[in-house]
């Protein structure tokens, strides 16, 4: 029986037996077994009572699927039950072609939250942003629904229109109309930025390593004097573990990429790169942000620890756990998506909750710099039942970022983080690049000054 090792954020892309496993943990005691059987009997009693006495007829299959999902999601945000349809959708997603809107979503306190829109999809073109909440689909509320249920509301045939109601900080709720289409996300986006190559990897599906290799070879062939590479992992929500190892292998000349550590301290699995660096030592800068998660963090952490690349941007999402997808009866009964391990960078860092911190912290916009200075961003640490880092570390709190766009910089036309990545390559290192002045005004300070000027006391939100 095949097990799919997945390390993407707990997300579904809106679109398109029994478990063969023997636990190494000793058998439960007779008392605990008796308690388990008693609770299973209680479950049957509740199901029968609901079936007989609920105000209207119920679908027992849906009730049991919801119970299974609730049991698993109580463990952590990324475990869950996949119905047969959801399991099939997940397989389509990892193959890199599916139908739908192109949004990576998760659930937070019963609300569907956007992890990131995918490049070149209806969601991206409509301006949907990471951190947006989806509160209704075609006027019907999705509040309180599981991610599976909300996804079903949003799915449909290509060419059909769907209206999403979006709640976004600092704005009133608004509707966005999208047209579903067959999603074929580009495996990579590649071009030259002056003397330097640029490759963006939107996700880690089954084509990621091959596509990255082809893009770099193409850039080298067309630009034999290329001086370095910018590798863009911003808003990359992760994907397949073997692809994270394969992508890291493109840049590394052997050595460890990541280790995976399970419930038993002795249960450690290490993944290594093969000899041979495709870029032959050319300097590399990796771009990351709060939407870089899981597989993207494995790659960024490996290249940072191995001193193969320097990182520019802002701290990543912090999703450092591994999910194993275990088909039930070959997928006929769906599958379990179960957290089975944490992953660690080559130096032994757990990324869980803390994320990967860049070598040069650069906010993309002035507004983003103000937000970082005044509120806790949505990340893995935001989930109430997120796994701990297993190191006693905590994520960096509110602070003023090291750099932000200077006055007069046009955020709509320019990419400030990319510009700073190019500056690092030109200077030779983060240490050598001329630093910009730290942003001077936090939004809270500006608000306080404005309120004082108006003769009013500001309202302070405690965090």
| Structure tokens given for 58 | 């119920």
Q: What is the three-class DSSP state of 12? A: strand
d(CA 153, CA 129): 20
Nearest to 282 by CA among 198, 207, 191, 214: 198
Active site residue 319: yes
d(CA 368, CA 56): 49
Q: In whole angstroms, how far apart are CA 12 and each of 150, 164, 233, 301?
A: 10, 16, 19, 24
Give the burial string for 250-281 (b: 16+ CB within 10 Å, else e): bbbeebbbbbbbbeeeeeeeebbbeeebbbee
Nearest to 321 by CA among 389, 384, 271: 389
What's the per-residue H, E or C state across 364-392? Answer: CCHHHHHHHHHCCCCCHHHCCCCCCCCCC
Alpha-helical runs (H) found in 128-230: 147-154, 208-222
* Torsion sign (Cα): 84, 85, 86, 90: positive
Active site residue 294: yes
Helix-then-strand count for the chain, H and E = 11, 21
d(CA 31, CA 165): 50
Active site residue 264: no
**In contact, 316 and 296? CB cutoff 8 Å:** yes
| Structure tokens given for 130 | 């990471």
Q: 305, 321, 353, 366: which is the annotated catalytic residue?
A: 305
Q: 319, 337, 353, 366: which is the annotated catalytic residue?
A: 319
Q: What is the DSSP letter of 391?
A: S
Q: 248, 292, 294, 379: which is the annotated catalytic residue?
A: 294
* Torsion sign (Cα): 62, 65, 70, 73: negative
Nearest to 333 by CA among 104, 85, 57: 85
Please identify every residue annotated as catalytic.
294, 305, 319
């Amino acid at each position: 029986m095949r097990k799919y090792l997945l390390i993407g954020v707990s997300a579904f892309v809106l679109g398109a037996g029994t478990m063969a496993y023997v636990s190494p943990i000793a058998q439960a005691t007779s008392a605990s077994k008796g308690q388990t059987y008693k609770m299973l009997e209680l479950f049957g009693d509740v199901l029968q009572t609901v079936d007989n006495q609920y105000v209207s007829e119920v679908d027992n299959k849906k009730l049991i699927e919801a119970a299974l999902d609730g049991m698993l999601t109580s463990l952590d945000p990324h475990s869950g039950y996949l119905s047969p349809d959801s399991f099939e959708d997940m397989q389509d997603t990892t193959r890199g072609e599916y139908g739908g809107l192109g949004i990576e979503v998760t659930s937070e306190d019963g609300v569907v939250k956007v992890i990131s829109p995918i490049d070149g999809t209806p969601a991206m073109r409509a301006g949907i942003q990471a951190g947006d909440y989806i509160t209704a689909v075609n006027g019907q509320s999705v509040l309180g629904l599981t991610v599976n249920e909300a996804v079903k509301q949003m799915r449909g045939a290509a060419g059909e229109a769907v209206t999403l109601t979006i709640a976004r900080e600092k704005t009133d709720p608004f509707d966005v109309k999208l047209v579903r289409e067959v999603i074929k996300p580009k495996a990579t986006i590649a071009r030259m930025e002056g003397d330097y190559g640029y490759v963006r990897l939107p996700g880690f599906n089954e084509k990621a390593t091959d596509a990255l290799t082809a893009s770099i070879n193409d850039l080298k062939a067309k630009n034999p004097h290329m001086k370095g590479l910018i590798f863009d992992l911003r808003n990359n929500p992760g994907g397949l573990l073997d692809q994270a190892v394969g992508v890291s292998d493109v840049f590394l000349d052997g050595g460890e990429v990541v280790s995976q550590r399970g419930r038993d301290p002795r249960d450690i699995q290490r993944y290594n790169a093969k000899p041979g660096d495709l870029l032959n030592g050319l300097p590399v800068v990796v771009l990351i942000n709060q939407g870089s998660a899981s597989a993207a963090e494995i790659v960024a952490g490996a290249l940072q620890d191995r001193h193969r690349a320097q990182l520019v941007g802002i701290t990543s999402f912090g999703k450092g756990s591994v999910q194993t997808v275990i088909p039930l009866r070959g997928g006929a009964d769906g599958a379990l998506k179960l957290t089975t391990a944490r992953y660690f960078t080559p130096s032994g860092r757990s990324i869980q909750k803390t994320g990967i911190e860049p070598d040069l912290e650069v906010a993309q916009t002035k507004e983003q710099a103000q937000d970082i200075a005044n509120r806790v961003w949505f990340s893995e640490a935001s989930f109430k039942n997120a796994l701990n880092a297993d190191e006693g570390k905590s994520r960096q709190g509110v602070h003023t970022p090291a750099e932000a766009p200077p006055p007069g910089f046009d955020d709509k036309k320019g990419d400030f983080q990319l510009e700073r990545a190019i500056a690092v390559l030109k200077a030779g290192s983060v240490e050598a690049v001329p630093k910009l002045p730290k942003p001077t005004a936090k939004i809270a300070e500006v608000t306080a000054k404005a309120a004082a000027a108006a003769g009013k006391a500001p309202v302070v939100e405690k965090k």
